[in-house]
Amino acid sequence: MHYISTRGRPERRKFCEILLEGLAPDGGLYVPENYPLVDDVMLNRWRGLSYPDLAFEILSLYIDDIPPADLKAICAKTYTSKVFGTDRITPVRTLETGLHVAELSNGPTLAFKDMAMQLLGNLLEYELARRGEELNILGATSGDTGSAAEYAMRGKKGIRVFMMSPHGRMSAFQQAQMFSLQDSNINNIAIEGVFDDCQDIVKAVSGDTDFKQRHRIGAVNSINWARLVAQVVYYFSAYFQVTEENSSKVDFTVPSGNFGNVCAGHVARMMGLPISRLVVATNENDVLDEFFRTGVYRVRGRVGTFETSSPSMDISKASNLERFVFDLLGCDASRTRSLFDDQLRESGSFDLSGDPAFVQVADRFGFRSGKSTHADRLETIRDTWHRFNALIDPHTADGVKVARMHSGPGMPMVVLETALPVKFAGTIREALGREPDRPQRFDGIEELPKRFEVLPADAKTVKSYIAGLVQGGAS
């Protein structure tokens, strides 16, 4: 299996090369040359597998430069009941007839990002040890990616983490999860801006080939293919849990800001998993909803990015959309580069509404979308609690709200859970007048000493900060 850039750089790369590299040198995202296809025989064989064995089977289709025995051991080490609280790893619960929630938030940081990040940490440690190298990871987070990455990488040999987050724009719990970590290889940077500023800095640093190579910079955001392909696994797992035979189709609704989580569903569907529709749920920052409804992709910028009660989706520049648009345009790297490099840089938007390919968004690729507001969020949390005795977080509430807009009789709808409610206690209190349950290990986390650096939204300043710590051998 080889990987290519969405923007046309000619080199074909192997999995372990792009694992350490993240963004392609031309600014594009790595994608497989072809999606491996699954058939009825494979699906039948996979139905009875444990989650780690299912992960091994799916990842083996994309990874051929790690010996199978080693990859199998990495999957077994990653997906355990000790780490995720249940042998099922991602159990699916039913809210009502036809409407299900895939529990993806039972990991160390109580968010779905743990599902891929725990695997990524083990893959990176394995490959760095095999090469005798070190890696400095630069990441950006709107809330959950950061803590998931830090908990996965803390104490890992040969890895140092620099994680940027928008200063003051995460929940108190999310901030505490990250900033209270005292591990010497973890460095938190609070950027004076919004998430998109953090993401732009990651791309600017990754685009500086000399700096990236000199300081061994890698990525853990969903621009890293390894993270995205790990998320493909739970689509298969959820499908098997809500169906009895492979002739059945299933809809998925995915709360999404950066398009990584739902892009994994797109990959699963391209592989042949019987997914009928992929419904993208956004909050008030509805750049993705606007694109899937109208064909216009319009970046909002700092001023136009709202601070909402589902803050992990307060994003107006969806990096992973480039992977889908590449597929939509028939893998035309030249056009993809023109849209995501030239047009976005010049005008901050592009318009595919008049392109014949745009009709395929729904007809061929199955995408739908919808948006949810703060009032919708509160009402959905209340309704889900009072009718089903189930407490959901604000992002999952966005998903449930939008799922109901698109659900139909006879077709199972699975909403992907984003996080546990304790991470957003303020919104839960507003909706229900009660505190969400809190795992004992997180008692008093907001009062712990915090360790972080506040920097301006400037790539040059961030590069100087990283260089100073790396060259000094500190962290």
Q: Which of 14, 72, 113, 463 is catalytic?
A: 113
Structure tokens at 102: 């895939």
Structure tokens at 429: 């209190």
DSSP characters for 214-235? HTTEE--STTSHHHHHHHHHHH
With 0-12 / 13-18 / 19 or more C-beta atoms within 10 angstroms meaning exposed / middle / buried, residue 420 is: buried
pLDDT for the residue 218: 86
- Over the stretch 225-276, which tens digit does the pLDDT of each residue have? 999 999 999 999 999 999 999 999 999 999 999 999 999 999 999 999 999 9
21-56 burial by CB neighbour count: b if 16+ within 10 A, else e?
bbbbebbbbbbbeebeebeeebbeebbebebbebbb
- In this prediction, residues 70-82 reach a mean pLDDT of 98
pTM of the shown model: 0.92
pLDDT for the residue 454: 97
Closest CA to 119 of 1, 216, 234, 14: 234
Strand-pairing partners, residue 455, are: 191
- Over the stretch 434-467, which tens digit does the pLDDT of each residue have? 999 988 888 999 999 999 999 999 999 999 999 9
- In this prediction, residues 341-359 reach a mean pLDDT of 95
Closest CA to 283 of 214, 375, 381: 375
Q: Enter the DSSP assignment of 124.
A: H
- In this prediction, residues 208-236 reach a mean pLDDT of 91
Rounded CA-CA distance 90/237 in Å is 7
In the chain, pLDDT over 70 holds for what percent of residues?
Answer: 99
What pLDDT band is residue 190 in, cutting at 50, 70 and 90? very high
Tell me the backbone φ, ψ of residue 230, rounded to 5 degrees: -65, -30
pLDDT for the residue 408: 87
What pLDDT band is residue 475 in, cutting at 50, 70 and 90? very low
- In this prediction, residues 154-171 reach a mean pLDDT of 92
Q: Is 113 a catalytic residue?
A: yes
Rounded CA-CA distance 439/166 in Å is 26
Closest CA to 226 of 260, 186, 272: 260
Rounded CA-CA distance 38/115 in Å is 22
Q: Rounded mean pLDDT of the chain?
A: 94
Q: Enter the DSSP assignment of 306.
A: -
SS3 139: strand
- Least-confidence region, from 75-79, 142-146, 328-332, 351-355: 142-146
What pLDDT band is residue 473 in, cutting at 50, 70 and 90? low
- Least-confidence region, from 59-63, 97-101, 152-156, 265-269: 152-156
- In this prediction, residues 73-94 reach a mean pLDDT of 97
Tell me the backbone φ, ψ of residue 175, rounded to 5 degrees: -60, -45
Reading phi first (left if > 0) and then psi (alpha if -120 to 50, else beta), residue 444 is in left
pLDDT for the residue 326: 98
Rounded CA-CA distance 179/171 in Å is 12
CB atoms within 10 A of CB 342: 11
With 0-12 / 13-18 / 19 or more C-beta atoms within 10 angstroms meaning exposed / middle / buried, residue 389 is: exposed
- In this prediction, residues 74-90 reach a mean pLDDT of 97
